[in-house]
Amino acid sequence: MKPCNCEELDLSTLPGISRIVCLDETVSTQAVAREMAMEGTAQNTLVLAETQTAGVGRRGSAWESGPGGLYMTLLLKPETGLKFLPDLSVLSGEAVAETIALYGIKTRVKKPNDVYAYHPRRRKWLKLAGIIAESSSINREAGWLLLGAGVNLNNKLKLETAVSVRDILGRRVSREEFLKEFFRFFWLRYSSWEYSSLSKS
């Protein structure tokens, strides 16, 4: 696990984030955030990595994590029951899709946790992002929740079934700008989800 400089990330532009942990290289942001959660790290901590050596997707599948992509895990402590947690993956994917759409890219969410983008030159839908949620429980309530996301922004990809924002636009995009817009969409959906879950409990 190698730390990196986060000076380009301004906490004031990332709504709802209390702390940023930025890493140059790690096994996975999910693993780092899990360890932090067990140590009692405050909620709304964001773990970012430039690269992951063993990034994982749903059901343990590998996730390409080369330089230029966005790899992050957000540590949350929602006041809701575990039965509502699957909905969080979907709404997070929708927030990613909304953010990508700001670049003029057509998107769609494949439940429960994948985001696809339409590549106009290749004329097909390709995977652009994935979400992974993991939680601990205390008396069937979520003790902490790790919400991980991998988004192909500027990274080069080996898989023919995947695509990056740069591939579609033909130019690099700002990770910082993407994060700012993503959290703007995410917290609106998260607040509504948490409130709705509590009212149904």
164 and 128 in contact (C-beta within 8 Å)? Answer: yes
Q: How far is CA 104 from the centre of its chain?
A: 20
- What pLDDT shows up at residue 145? 87
**pLDDT 10s digits, 136-161:** 765 555 578 899 999 999 999 988 89
25 and 53 in contact (C-beta within 8 Å)? Answer: yes
Q: DSSP class of residue 130?
A: E
Say what the alpha-carbon torsion angle 149, 133, 185, 29 is, to the nearest 10 degrees. Answer: -40
Place 63 in a pLDDT band, splitting at 50, 70 and 90. low
Q: Measured over all CA atoms, what is the biggest interatomic distance in the chain, rounded to whole angstroms? A: 51
Place 3 in a pLDDT band, splitting at 50, 70 and 90. low
State the residue for tokens 């780092």: 32
The whole-chain average pLDDT of the chain stands at: 85
Domains defined for the chain, CATH in brackets: 2-200 (3.30.930.10)
Please indicate whether residue 94 or residue 87 has the higher confidence score (pLDDT).
94
Please indicate whether residue 48 or residue 86 has the higher confidence score (pLDDT).
48
Of the candidates 200, 167, 161, 187, the residue with the CA atom closest to the CA atom of residue 95: 187
Strand partners for 56: 62
Q: pTM for the complete prediction?
A: 0.87
